[in-house]
Amino acid sequence: MAGAEQKGESPEDVSRRRFFTLMSLGVGWGGVVATLGGIGAGAARYMFPSVLYEPPTVFKIGLPSGYGMGVDTKLKKERQVWVVRNERGIYVLVAICRHLGCTPNWFSDQKLFRCPCHGSIYDPHGNVVGGPAPRTLWRSAISLDPVDGQIVVDFNLRQDPDPVGTPEGLMVEEASREVEPYFLKV
């Protein structure tokens, strides 16, 4: 007799049986809800796949007039570059050590970049003057935006005048580096 109390059951037995019946119903529905939730989450993930947003590799860094003589470090953290102006124009050094990829620091009093990892030292041109780095610092391609006149950096288009494999390469003739698109005569 469904739903009826069984013969010989005390009121405590009946309430215990009802409790366990309700519990099992709750667990059952909970499982259904959890399963549907999992399916819904999977569908949402399919519709909105996780995308890794990398910072753009081509970006503007302002007008040439915003950069004075010497090494400007203000973009090192955000863009991983130093902007350098000399008597002839502007170039952009990539702030990645050519040894194992750490970020060197600029010491204006010494006029040197020093890498904190293994002690590589570079001059303001990017030439290696000490430590284990085997190659000069890269320079990124730069141009002037024809509309607003800002410097546009193409971070991944890099000058590498002494690529791995060349017999000598720690000191590179500066004139060979001050060429378009790696140098702006501004």
As a dihedral over the C-alpha atoms of residue 50, residue 52, residue 58, residue 64, rounded to 10 degrees, the angle is: 120
How many residues bind to ligand FES according to rule CB under 6 A? Answer: 13
Smaller CB distance to ligand FES: residue 81 or 133?
133
Decide if residue 118 touches ligand FES (CB under 6 A): yes
- Closer by beta carbon to ligand FES, 66 or else 116: 116
Minimum CB–partner distance for residue 130 and ligand FES (Å) = 10
Q: How far apart are CA 69 and CA 91, in angstroms?
A: 11
Which residues does 106 contact at the CB level (< 8 Å), separation at least 6?
71, 73, 76, 82, 112, 113
Does 93 engage in binding with ligand FES (CB under 6 A)? no
Binding segment toward ligand FES, per CB under 6 A, in 60-68, 113-121, 147-155, 175-183 = 113-121
Contact flag: residue 105 with ligand FES (CB under 6 A):
no
Give the torsion sign (CA, 102, 154, 65, 171): positive
- Distance (Å, whole) CA 111 – CA 119: 15
The answer to the question of residue 27 lying near ligand FES (CB under 6 A) is no
Residue 41 Cβ, how far from ligand FES at the closest point, in Å? 42
List CB contacts of 93: < 8 A, sequence separation 6 or more. Answer: 81, 82, 84, 126, 137, 138, 139, 140
The residue type found at 183 is F
Residue 72: which of 114, 106, 110 has the closest Cα? 106
Of 60-89, binders to ligand FES (CB under 6 A) are none
Q: By CB under 6 A, name the one of 76, 99, 125, 135 that touches ligand FES.
A: 99
The nearer residue to ligand FES, 64 or 104, going by C-beta atoms, is 104
> CB-wise, 93 or 184, nearer to ligand FES?
93
Which chain residues interact with ligand FES by CB under 6 A? Answer: 97, 99-102, 115, 117-120, 131-133
